[in-house]
């Protein structure tokens, strides 16, 4: 059994000379090592926090410089900084940049050959490296973990920390083990970084990682150069037409997110005759995905049609549009993906093509995420039937239990946490308890029932964003825990600017023009030259999304409507036409 590392400092507070890094230390390191003249908002606060030995969580938008907070800190700390990152592409991008800056950084992942992995482990074991990038799955390697126990770990960083909450409970259950990993490493300070996390997700991150009294920083959530719009569509042909209009009218390159591989393939085939299109999804070969990404990064493609497998680690500042052909399962996911537009600060467009029926797609995904009690029992029985010291791969266990591999992986991870099974290299599993079924997983499985309910609530919030008559920026900020003032107006969403965009470029908040002609123009009422006559209670009016309804009350530019099957809703008057 691997013994926990002993604390290097009392209460794991760094020595005074390190904790009290002077302004001169920070400024010289920033200028001499990173070639920067000043910190961006939030960076210095986070750096000073982790240098003092305190945990920190930072929610900062894409492109705000989250990586610098731990990279600079690592150079001022005495030991090794571990950075848990979800994707190999992220690691390669970061280590390449650090190498150019002369920073001793390493990465260990499955993209390396066995020889390369062994050489890196040896180098780390010999005390080399200030920063080490790795995936959460790497901690399964007991021999490698022994190497880490012999190093002084000064900082434990979880990049893209929303994955702890969004993936840890289903897709990447190794994220659930990070809290115990931190304790076994001697409980160094923990820094969690993400561009998207609601208060609920933040709390889950803190709980999963075992963070103590952390400093919290929430940066500006919705950058003012991003124009937010939702385009109601009634069927696939209308949706396709809206997408094609965006591609025609928007300058530059962008991303089109779809929910399924099938739709990605269909749209790619349909559009490639008119535009250079890249295609990216998980069922393409590694070579094909790399070629698609390289074409997009080089500006050779008008757009990349992609599932949500694309985007993490994409360092392209001049993405001019992000289109969601299907709405994702949560506002966290939407905000993360839409936020990849306009990182250079130039006006950019975030369009969502809304169709009511698309909810069924996300409902399908939610239904297959978490194991139930019956499935857990099946996995436990299969493990019990294995002779002692026998190793079986995950795929074989899942097939024998007639349980999806993803769910089987979750159950095995839970059993591992209870000391019932052991995982070996290559994804093989061994029973180490006499009776695996003796463990009570009811609490964990009950937690998954609660997560199912939370996922449904998140989907409901996503749909509210699609159908709201309020400022979309306000809705996002409120969802993530901010409280905008009553007079808040973002000035860069379709609800605030409305159909006045017809036939003209949408103004950015700084008065600049977006490189678009609103695709919503074809889907919203045409404003008349003269002031339209006000609606009266009792008359019928039509809305492009909710159909025909009855006016109940009129309050300024807002109309309370009864849309029958769509219920009572308050909408903007200029989104209504007389029936």
Listed in order, the ranges of the chain carrying CATH 3.40.50.300 are 10-218, 226-363+460-522
pLDDT at 147 over 60: yes
Listed in order, the ranges of the chain carrying CATH 1.10.10.10 are 369-447
**CA–centroid distance for 513 within its chain:** 29
Give 366's pLDDT tier (boundaries 50, 70, 90): confident
Higher pLDDT, 254 or 160: 254
pLDDT of residue 167: 53
Instruction: State the Rg of the chain over Cα.
Output: 26
CA 242/CA 325 separation, integer angstroms: 10
CA 245/CA 243 separation, integer angstroms: 5
Using left for φ > 0, alpha for ψ between -120 and 50, and beta otherwise, residue 366 falls in alpha
State percent of the chain over pLDDT 70: 84
According to CATH, the topology of domain 369-447 is Arc Repressor Mutant, subunit A (1.10.10)
Tell me the per-residue pLDDT of 76-133, one tens digit each, with 9 for 90 and over.
999 999 999 887 777 887 888 898 888 999 999 877 888 998 899 999 999 999 999 9
Question: What residue has token string 């965006």?
Answer: 246
Q: How many residues does the chain have?
A: 579
Question: Which CATH superfamily, name and number, covers 226-363+460-522?
Answer: P-loop containing nucleotide triphosphate hydrolases (3.40.50.300)
Tell me the per-residue pLDDT of 372-400, one tens digit each, with 9 for 90 and over.
888 889 999 999 999 988 899 999 999 99
Give 544's pLDDT tier (boundaries 50, 70, 90): low
Burial grade of 37 (CB within 10 A; 0-12, 13-18, 19 or more): exposed
The arrangement of secondary structure in 10-218, i.e. its CATH architecture, is 3-Layer(aba) Sandwich (3.40)
pLDDT at 506 over 60: no
pTM over 0.85: no
pLDDT at 431 over 70: yes
CA 472/CA 493 separation, integer angstroms: 6
Q: Which residues have a Cβ under 8 Å from the Cβ of 417 and sit 6 or more positions away?
A: 176, 177, 180
């Amino acid at each position: 059994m691997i013994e926990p590392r002993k604390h290097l400092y009392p209460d794991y507070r760094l020595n005074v000379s390190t904790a009290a890094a002077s302004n001169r230390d920070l400024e010289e390191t920033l200028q001499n090592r990173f070639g920067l003249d000043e910190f961006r908002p939030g960076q210095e606060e986070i750096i000073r926090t982790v240098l003092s030995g305190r945990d920190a969580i930072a929610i900062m938008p894409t492109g705000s410089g989250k990586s610098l907070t731990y990279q600079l800190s690592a150079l001022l700390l005495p030991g090794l900084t571990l950075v848990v990152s979800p994707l190999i592409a992220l690691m390669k991008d970061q280590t390449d940049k650090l190498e150019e800056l002369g920073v001793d950084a390493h990465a260990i992942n499955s993209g390396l050959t066995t020889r390369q992995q062994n050489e890196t482990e040896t180098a780390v074991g010999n005390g080399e490296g200030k920063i080490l990038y790795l995936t959460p799955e790497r901690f399964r390697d007991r021999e490698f973990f022994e190497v880490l126990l012999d190093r002084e770990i000064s900082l434990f960083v979880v990049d893209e920390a929303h994955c702890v909450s969004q993936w840890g409970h289903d897709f990447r259950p190794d994220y659930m083990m990070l809290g115990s990993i931190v304790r076994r490493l001697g409980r160094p300070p923990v820094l969690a970084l993400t561009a998207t996390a609601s208060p609920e997700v933040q709390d889950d991150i803190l709980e999963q990682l075992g963070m103590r009294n952390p400093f919290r920083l929430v940066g500006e959530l919705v950058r003012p150069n991003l124009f937010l719009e939702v385009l109601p569509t009634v069927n696939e042909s209308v949706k396709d037409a809206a997408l094609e209009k965006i591609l025609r009218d928007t300058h530059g390159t962008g991303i089109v997110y779809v929910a399924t591989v099938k739709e990605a393939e269909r749209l790619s085939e349909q559009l490639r005759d008119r535009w250079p299109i890249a295609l990216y999804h998980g069922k393409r070969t590694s070579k094909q995905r790399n070629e698609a990404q390289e074409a997009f990064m080089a500006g050779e493609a008008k757009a990349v049609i992609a599932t949500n497998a694309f985007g993490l680690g994409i360092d392209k500042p001049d993405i001019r549009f992000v289109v969601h052909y299907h709405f994702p399962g949560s506002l966290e996911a939407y905000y993360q993906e839409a936020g990849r537009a306009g990182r250079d600060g130039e006006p950019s467009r975030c369009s969502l093509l809304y169709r009511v029926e698309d909810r069924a797609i996300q409902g399908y995904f939610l239904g297959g995420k978490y194991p139930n009690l019956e499935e857990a029992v099946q996995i436990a029985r299969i493990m019990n039937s294995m002779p002692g010291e026998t190793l079986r791969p995950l795929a074989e266990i899942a097939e024998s239990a007639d349980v999806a591999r993803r769910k089987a992986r979750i159950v095995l991870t839970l059993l591992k946490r209870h000391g019932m099974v052991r995982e070996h290299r290559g994804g093989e599993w061994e029973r180490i308890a006499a009776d695996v079924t003796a463990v009570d997983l009811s609490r964990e499985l009950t937690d998954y029932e609660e997560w199912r309910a939370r996922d449904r609530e998140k989907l409901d919030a996503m749909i509210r964003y699609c159908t709201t008559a309020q400022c979309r920026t306000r809705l996002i900020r409120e969802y993530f825990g901010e409280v905008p003032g009553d007079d808040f107006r973002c000035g860069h969403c379709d609800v605030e600017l409305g159909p006045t965009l017809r036939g003209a470029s949408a103004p950015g908040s700084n008065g600049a023009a977006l490189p678009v002609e609103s695709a919503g123009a074809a889907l919203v009422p045409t404003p008349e030259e003269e002031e339209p006559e006000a609606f009266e209670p009792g008359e019928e009016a039509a809305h492009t999304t909710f159909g025909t309804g009855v006016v109940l009350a009129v309050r300024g530019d807002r109309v309370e409507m009864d849309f029958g099957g769509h219920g009572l809703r308050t909408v903007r008057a200029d989104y209504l036409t007389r029936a």
